[in-house]
Structure 1
Amino acid sequence: MFADLRGYTALTQSLEPAALTALLDAFYDDCAAAIWRYDGLLNKTIGDAVFAIFNFPVRQTDHAVQALLAARDIQERFARRRDELLRLIGSGALEVGIGIGIDSGETNFGEFGQTHRDLTAVGTVVNRAARAQAAARSGEILVTSAVRDRAGDLVAGEGAEHKLKGFQQPVMLFAG
């Protein structure tokens, strides 16, 4: 699962560093709380985004459900904090929100690099989740067919094909 703070880049050009720090602190804290609540591992914070893994280190048969519930929790926490954050960044600020993408499948998880070791997951499933997040609008959760298949009734409705960067074939994404 990838979650990205929308509008952040534009805000960096107009907000004081203290306000940017407070915004990122709130975003990271809310993401971490939701991810941990649903037994995920917050693997990385990447600027104004987070990368979480579910089904590691403890294997879970319902990991796709857990990831989806965590994503919904992140969106709900942000919605509850919205007025506070808008006061912090100013009412005239650009729209701010969160876009989330989730995929499910096999990854390669371990330490990579020779001189600098980095513990992370890599592979197509990670790339597809990142690209689904990039396609998600503010306030939206996009999940792949693999997540929809594993999450059952939690993902309803028709999907839409998306041309994702780096993927030759369109990828079917569903609102989560």
Structure 2
Amino acid sequence: MSTSILVVDDETDLEILLIQKFRKQIREGTLRFLFAHDGVEALAVLAANQDVDMVLSDINMPRMDGLSLLAKLQERDQDLSTIIVSAYSDMANIRTAMNRGAYDFVTKPIDFPDLEATIDKTIHHVEALREAQRRQTAAEQARASLSRYFSPNLAERLASSANVLDLGGTRREVASLFTDLTGFTTLVETIEPKVLGPLLNDYIVGMTDIVFAHDGTVAKIIGDALHVLFGAPSDQPDHASRAVACSLALDAFAGSFREHWSRKGIPLGHTRIGAHAGTAVVGNFGGGRFFDYSAYGDTINVAARLEAANKTLGTRICVSGSVAAKARGFCGRPVGDLLLRGRSEPIRAFEPLDTNRCASPETQAYIEAFKKLEACDPGAIASFAALVGRNAEDRLTSFHLKRLLNGEISTTIAI
């Protein structure tokens, strides 16, 4: 690597001596010298040569002295390492120069071995600064990329890791969560782009803010749909609890968002959410040019299927039994044993509820009715009919009542 040094001195003999003393380094291309005879000329040379690494400057010069040059460099925020040359008896000016940002000094008459050692030391200093700047730039680039996927705190931690963009694929215990805004494709065809843009942006920002508040990872955003991970890229022993809490918060936000736009005359569908917990292969599968933090495996597929199952069940949130079992203090209504297409074993599913709904008499009545359904008790029909009578808007109880009336007295539901 070549180092460019600007020598600022009104003694022309110094130029000849430096070229002679450092001719080997100049010939090999490791050092390049530029020359100016005062501070004014030095500023012009610096303006024309942006690659100067170091300034070697005398103090006493016509037009603009070395101290004034240092002040100008500070004003221009030119981060150059400067070596001051002055007589040892001029220690007051040397001290002033050091206070103005000079890196080191050599005294006149110049001792060239000492000058060479000082230049070498300064070169190492310049290289250390360059490396620090490279690291900072790399960290900023990583942070900008990571902030699309991770919460600010997590992105900050990951950006400081040297191998963050080379995560690779690892098998992890995760909770996978999918969301989808119903009817969005139809909505796109019916409203103006100038309305659609703010609507979609506000929705995505609101949803991702909630995910990040729960330290989740946004693995994908496709249109209005989100794929969220908990437990990756760093371990989260409470990943299932985070998934449940995040689901409830997302549902609350989506409901208020829907009401807001409804008042503006734009009908939005409900947001459906599905979550499942288990193992998955997660990591950066895009390589250096395209950072694509993704997850693969049955856990991911099941979560996506549970999100879609809401349409049939009449629920807005549907989580698997593995999520319910791992989430601390989980409370919710059992939905049934979902037999997903292509799978031989059913998956117990639940509709998570907040604390108030969980403790309500209606929820307790539903749980009692569901127990009768599990026991294949014919009295389940009357119990679900009573629930529908009290709240016709409860689509999950209506779903079960309809199945019971069709003779399906079972908790197994083919989806």
TM-score (norm 1): 0.87
Say if 2:246 is the partner of 1:73. no
Partner of 2:216: 40
Give the distance between the partners of 1:67 and 1:117, measured in 2 at CA: 24
Q: 1:125 aligns with which of 277, 296, 299?
A: 299
Q: 1:135 aligns with which of 309, 314, 322?
A: 309
The 8 Å contact of residues 233 and 283 in structure 2, kept in 1 or not, is answered as no
Q: CA RMSD in A?
A: 2.2
Q: After TM superposition, give the deviation of residue 165 of structure 1 in Å.
A: 4.0
Deviations 1:72-114 (A, max 9, x none): 11111122223322244x25x4x51100000111110123368
Q: 2:285 aligns with which of 90, 101, 112?
A: 112
Identity across the alignment (%): 29
Give the distance between the partners of 2:286 and 2:205, measured in 1 at CA: 29
The 8 Å contact of residues 315 and 351 in structure 2, kept in 1 or not, is answered as no
Bigger shift: residues 151-160 or 10-19: 151-160
Q: After TM superposition, give the deviation of residue 153 of structure 1 in Å.
A: 3.1
The 8 Å contact of residues 2 and 51 in structure 1, kept in 2 or not, is answered as yes
Q: After TM superposition, give the deviation of residue 170 of structure 1 in Å.
A: 3.0
Q: After TM superposition, give the deviation of residue 64 of structure 1 in Å.
A: 0.5
* Compared CA separation, residues 78 and 117, structure 1 to 2 (3 A): closer
Which runs of 5 or more structure 1 residues have no equivalent in the other structure? none
Give the distance between the partners of 1:113 and 1:167, measured in 2 at CA: 30
Give the distance between the partners of 1:26 and 1:129, measured in 2 at CA: 25
Q: How many residues align?
A: 173
Partner of 2:187: 11
Partner of 1:170: 346
SS in structure 2 opposite 1:59? Answer: coil
Greater relative contact order (Cα < 8 A, sep 6+) = 1
Q: 2:258 aligns with which of 69, 72, 82?
A: 82
Which runs of 5 or more structure 2 residues have no equivalent in the other structure? 1-176, 353-415
Q: After TM superposition, give the deviation of residue 50 of structure 1 in Å.
A: 0.2
TM-score (norm 2): 0.39
Letter in 2 for 1:59: D
Q: After TM superposition, give the deviation of residue 23 of structure 1 in Å.
A: 2.4
Letter in 2 for 1:129: A
Q: After TM superposition, give the deviation of residue 117 of structure 1 in Å.
A: 6.4
Letter in 1 for 2:221: T
Deviations 1:147-176 (A, max 9, x none): 010114323332312233443433221102
Q: After TM superposition, give the deviation of residue 13 of structure 1 in Å.
A: 2.1
Partner of 2:270: 97
Bigger shift: residues 145-154 or 160-169: 160-169
SS in structure 2 opposite 1:175? Answer: strand
Give the distance between the partners of 1:157 and 1:139, measured in 2 at CA: 11
Letter in 2 for 1:2: F
Between structure 1 and structure 2, the one with the greater Rg is 2
Letter in 2 for 1:69: A
The 8 Å contact of residues 24 and 48 in structure 1, kept in 2 or not, is answered as yes
Deviations 1:52-76 (A, max 9, x none): 1101122111111111111111111
* Compared CA separation, residues 13 and 53, structure 1 to 2 (3 A): same
Q: After TM superposition, give the deviation of residue 35 of structure 1 in Å.
A: 0.7
* Compared CA separation, residues 34 and 166, structure 1 to 2 (3 A): farther
